[in-house]
Structure 1
Amino acid sequence: MSFADLGLSDELLQAVTSAGYTEPTPIQAQAIPAVLMMKDLIGIAQTGTGKTAAFVLPMIDVLGNGRRRALMPRSLILEPTRELAAQVAENFEKYGKNHDLKMALLIGGVQMGDQLKALQGGVDVLIATPGRLMDLFERGKIMLTGCELLVIDEADRMLDMGFIPDIETICSKLPTNRQTLLFSATMPPVIKKLADRFLTSPKYIEVARPASTNVNIAQYKVPVTARKKREALRALLHADNVSTAIIFCNRKTTVRELAKSLKQHGFAAGEIHGDMEQPARIAELDRFKAGQINILCASDVAARGLDIKGVSHVFNFDTPWHPDDYVHRIGRTGRGGATGRAFTLVAPEDAEAIENVEKLTGGPIPLYTLGSEEAGERPASAEPAERPAKNARTKRAPRREAEPRREPEARREPETGRKAEPRRETRPAAGDDRGNGAEKRGSTRRDGDRDNRRPRQADLEPGDSGGWNGPVPEFLNFSAIA
């Protein structure tokens, strides 16, 4: 089957051919005719199957005839991330070059001025993230009553990011007689409920088992201790003939620190994560696509939908917390029929996470064992030798013996050297407890000897209240005179 068999216009076929494509993928072959027939659609397909073109191509022909109106987009495509939205925009520019269609990109992280200017001129296709769209809608800067076609892309990712309430609000503002297309890698109950509510008799297409992995990707798990992950990663980058690679981390801070470490070790590495401004993220992706850097450290913001050709390797520096993320991460390689390799560094604390991944993918991931030095595995013979040192470090120091008490010397005045008159101690009257608490608190010794916290009876004079907690100086020892 060729694209010409799907009912696309000649102008669109020329653009597809010039882009280097001759045969549609399974999701494209089934979805394009349904969209051209104005049917609602649910498309379940794993990442990397060409589902973006499955709705972009027919949308271009559907929107080929019509009139634009200010602030009222004719169609709306919702994407969970800025990167996915920008990629869809690139597809419209590539395939719609022979059509008179106007497109606008509505995403966060960039100035609103240009976006508002584009909306005021009228657009055929509005590609937006839910947050920015809701922001402009609440300000009255956009009207959705003229939208004829809605696409909800990466619906399961929308669910993960908490966008479902926004999507429900947006759908409720759109005309009821619109065409709606929903694409997702999985179909959890929340997404099914959303589809049942807002789609009308949709055509259901599933080209692969939900969240199944690409057979063109060789997968491995690498046992490693947490403190030796960087060393193991560098060993893999040197040993496995890596041309271009994406390294995924669970945290944005880990992305920054890992990229910095790789640069210090001579690798041409970059980074992309949610804390970066949108222009910086786009610039880093452009550097990676242009070959200025061949290693890209990324958080899951870049895991889904990014179509970067020629990625030979994917490394999971951290085992993903959610099994679905594993499928989307490794889907950045092995695209378009090419082969790829994916390595996941598995620390002992990742045992449950990797077990959940293997349950989802339907089988154990082959083990790839590095040498003990690279993987950070401790040789068995070294264990007894290290234990005494460890015990010696953690052993509590013995208590210090209490030093013998010194008889206090008579206090001398600093300038004359003469003995100072002894201070008289004011005792509280009978029944008066004022001051005793302070005296007792001040009498606590700090030499670690618990037995010396309270004054001993042998050190007290008859009738003494315990205010003085030291040996009695000779000039105060009145008992000897008596």
Structure 2
Amino acid sequence: MSFADLGLSDELLRAVSEAGYSEPTPIQAQAIPPVLMMKDLIGIAQTGTGKTASFVLPMIDILAHGRSRARMPRSLILEPTRELAAQVAENFEKYGKYHKLTMALLIGGVNMGDQVAALEKGVDVLIATPGRLMDLFGRGKILLTGCSLLVIDEADRMLDMGFIPDIEEICTKLPAQRQTLLFSATMPAPIKKLADKFLSNPKQIEVSRPASTNLAIDQSLVETSSRGKRETLRDLLRGEEVSTAIIFSNRKTTVRELAQSLGRHGFKAGQIHGDMEQPERLRELDRFKGGEINILVASDVAARGLDIKGVSHVFNFDVPWHPDDYVHRVGRTGRGGATGTAITLVTPEDAEAIEAIEKLTGNKIARRGKPAGAADEAPPEATEPRREKRERGGRRERKAEVPAPREAKREDRDRRPRRDDRRRDPIDDEPDDGWNGPVPGFLSVSLG
């Protein structure tokens, strides 16, 4: 099957071809025709399956007919994080190059005045995080009564982050007669309830079993100890054929310390976590994509939404606290039909968490021994100069290996903000008048 068989316009087919794609992925092949027929849709698909294009492509052709009005977007795409929202915007830029559609990106970290100006001119597509959308709606800067197409993306992630009440409120402000598309990697009960309430006779598409991981990813567990995790990781990085790797940790403090430690040992490593300002995060991502660094140490703020081609390895330095996060972490590799490797470092204390992951995915993860040369009984930085250990504070670093419940809660805010904070972009710690890096040219708004 080719994209031409799906009923897309010639202009769209040309853009898709120029982007280097000739055949649709399974979810694209199944989702695009019913979306073009204006049907509601539930798409259950693991990360890396081409899900974004499955709604972006038909939306472009649907919106090609019609005209936008001031403060009344014709369609709305809800994303849980600004990184995901920005990537969806890039997809519209890439595939909509031969259509004259106007778009706006409504996310935290961007000057609100510019966003209001874009809305005043009228947009065909509004891509937003729930927090910023609710903020501007409350200020009377946006009307949703003209929105005829709604996309709720990463619904299970929205649930994790406490956004479901906001989404329900947003849905009540849209016209009752509309087309609604809902995408999720899993379908827990609250998401099914949301779909039952706001979707009308939806077509359900499932391209992989819920909570399953990509079969193209070689997954394994490597046994180690709490004191020897860093040395085990370094041995794996040296022993594996690592071209690019993302290393996940549960806590932001560990992300910072681990990235610095890898740098001292000669690895080209960067970091991304929720305490960084948005421009810093974008700079680190650009360094990673550009090859200046080939290792990115990340907290779960980056577990979903990073779409970087060619990531050969994912390492879980810490076993994730929530089983769903394992699926999304390892999904950063093996994307777009490529193969990948996901390695999780496990200590005896992780047995229960691994059991929960295997129960969720329905697969037993292969065990393998420690890499050659790993000395688990040595302190984490035994091979480093003593001066560096004093500068870092060795006692504090060793203590950080075992997360205290209160600190763990603080770090978990990357993914699950308190109910009182749910109207904020969950990874927005900076003021609203900050800048989050370059907006794609296709989304730029002329104020002249």
Indicate whether the TM-score tops 0.5. yes
Q: Is the 8 A contact 1:43 1:182 kept in 2?
A: yes
Cα distance in structure 2, aligned partners of 1:247 and 1:140:
42
TM-score (norm 1): 0.77
The Cα shift of 1:368 comes to 2.2
Please list, as runs of the form range in 1=range in 2, the aligned pairs for 1:454-465 lying within 5 A after superposition.
none
In structure 2, the partner of 1:194 is 194
Q: Which residue of 2 aligns with 1:335?
A: 335
Identity of aligned pairs, percent? 79
CA distance in 1, matches of 2:135, 2:54: 29
Deviation digits for residues 66-103 of structure 1, max 9, x if unmatched? 11111111110000111111110000000000000111
Q: 5 Å matches for 1:414-433?
A: none
Bigger radius of gyration: 1
- 2:108–2:132 Cα contact (<8 Å) kept: yes
Partner of 1:177: 177
Report the equivalent of 1:16: 16
Q: Check conservation: 1:217, 1:341, Cα contact below 8 A.
A: yes
Asked if residue 105 in structure 1 is aligned to residue 124 in structure 2, the reply is: no
Partner Cα distance (1:311, 1:209) in 2? 24
After TM superposition, list the pairs within 5 Å mapping 1:329-368 onto structure 2. 329-368=329-368
Deviations 1:139-160 (A, max 9, x none): 1111111111000000000000
Q: 1:375 to 1:353 in 2, by over 3 A?
A: farther
The residue type paired with residue 358 of structure 2 is E
217-226 vs 272-281, greater mean Cα deviation? 272-281
Work out the CA distance in 1 between the residues paired with 2:346 and 2:373. 16
Write out aligned runs for 1:88-237 (5 A): 88-237=88-237
Q: Corresponding residue for 1:259?
A: 259
* Kept after mapping to 1: 8 A contact 2:236/2:371: no
- Residue 371 of structure 1 deviates from its aligned partner by 4.7
Query: How far apart, in 1, do the equivalents of 2:318 and 2:220 lie?
Result: 14
Q: What letter matches 2:209 in structure 1?
A: R
Q: Which amino acid aligns with 1:192?
A: K
Cα gap change, 1:35/1:264 in structure 2, threshold over 3 Å: closer, same or farther?
same
Amino acid paired to 1:193: K
Runs of 4+ in 1 over 4 A off after TM superposition: none
1:339-418 matched pairs, under 5 angstroms: 339-371=339-371, 374=374, 376=376
In the alignment, structure 1 residue 57 sits paired with structure 2 residue 57: yes
Task: State whether structure 2 residue 258 is matched by structure 1 residue 245.
Answer: no
Equivalent-residue separation in structure 1 for 2:52 and 2:14 (angstroms): 18
CA distance in 1, matches of 2:369, 2:377: 10
Quick check: 1:2–1:22 contact (8 Å CA) kept in 2?
yes
1:179–1:375 Cα change, 3 Å: farther
Deviation at 1:372, TM superposition (A): 7.4
Q: CA deviation at 1:56?
A: 0.3
Q: Larger RCO: Structure 1 or Structure 2 (Cα < 8 Å, ≥ 6 residues apart)?
A: 2
CA offset digits 1:435-454 (Å, max 9, x no partner) = xxxxxxxxxxxxxxxxxxxx
Cα distance in structure 1, aligned partners of 2:110 and 2:297: 23
Mapped contact 2:149–2:179 kept (Cα < 8 A): yes
In 2 relative to 1, CA 113–241 (structure 1 residues): closer, same or farther, beyond 3 Å? same
Q: Give the partner amino acid of 1:114.
A: D
CA drift of 1:307 comes to 1.4
Please name the residue that 2:426 is paired with: none
Per-residue CA distance 1:312-355 (angstroms, 9 max, x = gap): 00000100111111111111111111111110011121110011
Q: Does the Cα contact within 8 Å between 2:268 and 2:295 map onto a contact in 1?
A: yes
Q: In structure 2, the residue corresponding to 1:341 is in which secondary structure?
A: strand
Deviation per CA, 1:88-122: give whole Å up to 9, x if none: 00000000000001111111122212212211111
8 Å contact from structure 1 (residues 319, 344) kept in 2: yes
Q: Distance in 2 between matches of 1:226 and 1:49?
A: 35
Contact 1:224 1:375 in 2 (8 A): no
CA–CA distance in structure 2, aligned partners of residues 236 and 298 of structure 1: 18
Query: Structure 2: 5+ residue runs without aligned partners?
Result: 379-448
Gaps of 5+ in 1: 379-482
Deviation of 1:377 (Å): 5.3
Cα distance in 2 between the residues matched to 1:114 and 1:270: 31
What RMSD, in angstroms, separates the aligned Cα atoms of the two structures? 1.2
Alpha-carbon offset, residue 19 of structure 1: 0.5
Q: CA deviation at 1:222?
A: 0.8
1:193 deviation in Å? Answer: 0.5
Match of 2:323 in 1: 323
